[in-house]
Amino acid sequence: MSELRLQNTKDFGEIKDQLRNTEVIVEILKEETWKNQKDIRRIQKTMGIK
């Protein structure tokens, strides 16, 4: 029974690490998307589109 608990704890720790990594990746993508949108709007204004 204690071996099962130990394995569950290890698995949970791995899942938490993966979740943290995913959160970091999502935050980076969010920032890049925001920068791209700003660049697109700037280019559109320069070209007279929109």
What is the structure's pLDDT at 12? Answer: 93
Q: What is the mean pLDDT of each run of 10 residues along the chain (50 residues)?
A: 89 94 96 96 90
What is the structure's pLDDT at 50? Answer: 67
What is the structure's pLDDT at 33? Answer: 96
**DSSP-assigned states of every residue in 3-46:** HHHHHHHHHHHHHHHHHHHHHHHHHHHHHHHHHHHHHHHHHHHH
What type of residue is 47? Answer: M
Q: What is the pTM of this model?
A: 0.64
What is the structure's pLDDT at 49? Answer: 86
What is the structure's pLDDT at 10? Answer: 93
